[in-house]
């Protein structure tokens, strides 16, 4: 029974009860006191039902209006989703497509019906699929919006460069339930950029330099990657005892930044006067050329970090010092008549933090190396290595 029929029947019932009550009240041979109390109660109840029916009818009218408005809004947002200039996808946490708009279907040269139920990874170039899988694992473990630069394969079509922006949707308990993707074809932009950028100097020389003096702490912004144009930067963290631990040296041509580490405490200090160039992380994600240029530099930092880890893992302090000096020789050494000179002055405290020991111990070991003639110092207190191999 719908609401209108219910209201009509309620009104008929009320009218009939009212007529019966009025007729019984007008009959001269029936005393009003003799009317059954139940009949009076039924008449009063029918009034309440009628009022409730009228209120219910009004509420139903409001609900109908609200439903119509919601339906119109749903169609509006559905049109925005379908006709958006960028491709949109909704997948489950494993990357299986659940929804897709017309734009992404055209980008991939398939129908929307074909896309639903397919893994998004199927459209990624074969050699780049593992990278995308690794990135998805990181996305599910964080709340950050991630942008991936990959090559997608159209169905029965050509490859194209695509920027995939992905974000995770979580339930009230914080558990990932789906992924939302924005897909853009950036092939033309990549071609224009490749034609414009001839070599890496074009990228770095056209950006402003940020200068920091020796000993100055360099600010770290999670949105920015620093490129070292000149000078030397010490990268360090702090252990639970409050002691500083050196974890890397950013030499000219290297990059560093808080977005390149998972450490909660990460500090960058100028060991010499430095010139830095700032690059937004989003630029790297959106530019294949920039990514290609910076990848070897990030690789170089990774290899150096592993060397520092290997040094700190050696049991004997003198072995840690020996291998640290070898590393510094490779990174910042320059040949002089006396041997190899470290072109940046390192204090005993700097060396101690890299060797995970005390300054007193390093002073003693450095004195011993100097007595043996394996190291010496120039007039500016720079270390000269003679027999450190």
- Binning pLDDT at 50, 70 and 90, where does residue 38 land? very low
Percent of the chain with pLDDT over 90: 16
Which of these ranges, 62-66, 177-181, 226-230, 250-254, has the smallest mean pLDDT? 62-66
DSSP label at 217? B
Give 230's Cβ-side CA count (13 Å radius): 10
Q: Give the confidence band of 386 by pLDDT, cuts at 50, 70, 90.
A: confident
pTM score over 0.75? no
Are 223 and 281 within 8 A, CB to CB? yes
Q: Using an 8 Å Cβ cutoff, are 331 and 341 in contact?
A: no
Determine the pLDDT at residue 72. 64
pLDDT (tens digit per residue) in 10-37: 666 666 666 666 665 655 555 555 455 5
- H/E stretch holding 66: helix 37-83
Out of 60-69, 133-142, 257-266, least confident range:
60-69
Over residues 211-225, mean pLDDT: 90
Least confident of 14-28, 98-112, 228-242, 255-269: 14-28
Torsion, Cα 34 39 45 51, to 10 degrees, reads -90
Query: Does the pLDDT of residue 81 top 80, yes or no?
Result: no
pLDDT at 351 over 70: yes
Question: CA–CA separation, 268 vs 244, rounded Å?
Answer: 12
Is the model's pLDDT at 110 over the cut of 80? yes
| pLDDT number for residue 297 | 84
Query: What confidence score (pLDDT) does residue 156 get?
Result: 79
Q: Which of 275, 281, 257 is nearest to 209 (CA)?
A: 275
Question: According to the model, what pLDDT value does residue 175 have?
Answer: 92
Percent of the chain with pLDDT over 70: 77
pLDDT given at position 7: 61
d(CA 213, CA 274): 7
Task: Please name the residues in contact with 197: beta carbons below 8 A apart, sequence gap of 6 or more.
Answer: 203, 289
| Whether the Cβ atoms of residue 52 and residue 60 lie closer than 8 Å to each other | no
DSSP 206: T
pLDDT at 1: 47
DSSP run (H or E) holding 169: strand 159-170
Give the H or E element holding residue 97: strand 97-100
Q: Within 10 A of 350 (CB to CB), how many other CB atoms are there?
A: 20
State the chain's mean pLDDT as an integer: 80
Q: How far is CA 152 from the centre of its chain?
A: 21
User: Distance of alpha carbon 296 from its chain centroid, rounded?
Assistant: 23
Q: Return the pLDDT at 169.
A: 92
**Torsion over CA: 293, 298, 300, 303 (sign):** negative
Question: In this predicted model, which residue has the larger pLDDT, 92 or 1?
Answer: 92
Sequence-separated (6 or more) residues with CB below 8 Å from residue 117: 96, 97
At residue 48 the predicted structure's pLDDT band, cuts being 50, 70 and 90, is: low
Instruction: Kindly indicate the confidence band of residue 42, based on its pLDDT and cuts at 50, 70 and 90.
Output: low
Q: What is the arithmetic mean of pLDDT over 83-92?
A: 82
pLDDT digits (tens, 9 = 90+) for 143-200: 778 888 888 988 877 888 888 889 999 998 989 999 999 898 887 766 665 555 545 5
Q: Which residues contact 327 (CB under 8 A, 6 or more apart)?
A: 304, 307, 308, 311
User: Which 3 state secondary structure label does DSSP give 116?
Assistant: coil
């Amino acid at each position: 029974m719908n609401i209108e029929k219910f209201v009509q029947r309620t009104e008929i019932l009320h009218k009939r009860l009212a007529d019966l009550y009025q007729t019984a009240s007008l009959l001269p041979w029936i005393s009003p006191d003799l009317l059954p109390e139940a009949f009076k109660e039924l008449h009063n109840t029918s009034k309440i039902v009628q009022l409730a029916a009228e209120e219910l009818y009004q509420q139903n009218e409001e609900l109908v209006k609200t439903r119509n408005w919601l339906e119109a809004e749903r169609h509006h947002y559905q049109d925005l989703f379908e006709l958006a200039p960028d491709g949109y996808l909704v997948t489950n946490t494993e990357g299986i497509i659940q929804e897709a708009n017309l734009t992404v279907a055209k980008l991939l040269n398939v129908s929307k019906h074909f896309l639903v139920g397919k893994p998004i990874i199927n459209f990624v170039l074969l050699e780049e699929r593992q990278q995308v899988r690794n990135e998805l694992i990181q996305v599910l473990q964080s709340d950050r919006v991630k942008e991936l630069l990959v090559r997608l394969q159209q169905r029965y079509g050509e490859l194209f460069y695509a920027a995939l922006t992905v974000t995770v949707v979580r339930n009230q308990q914080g558990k990932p339930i789906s992924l939302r993707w924005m897909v853009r074809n950036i092939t033309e932009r990549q071609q224009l950029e490749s034609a414009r950028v001839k070599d890496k100097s074009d990228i770095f020389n056209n950006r402003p330099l940020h200068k920091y003096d020796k000993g100055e702490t360099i600010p770290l912004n999670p949105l920015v990657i620093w490129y070292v144009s000149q000078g030397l930067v010490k990268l360090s963290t702090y252990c639970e005892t409050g002691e500083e631990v050196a974890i890397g040296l950013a030499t000219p041509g290297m990059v560093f930044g808080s977005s390149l580490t998972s450490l909660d405490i990460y500090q960058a200090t100028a060991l010499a006067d430095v010139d830095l160039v700032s690059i937004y992380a989003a630029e790297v994600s959106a530019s294949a050329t920039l990514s290609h240029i910076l990848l070897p530099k990030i690789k170089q930092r990774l290899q150096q970090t592993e060397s520092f880890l290997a040094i700190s893992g050696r049991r004997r302090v003198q072995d840690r010092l020996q291998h640290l000096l070898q590393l510094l020789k490779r990174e910042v050494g320059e040949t002089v008549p006396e041997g190899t000179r470290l072109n940046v002055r390192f204090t005993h405290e700097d060396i101690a933090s890299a060797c995970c020991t005390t300054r007193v111990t390093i002073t003693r070991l450095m004195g011993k190396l100097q007595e043996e003639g394996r190291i010496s110092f120039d007039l500016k207190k720079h270390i000269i290595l003679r027999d450190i191999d």
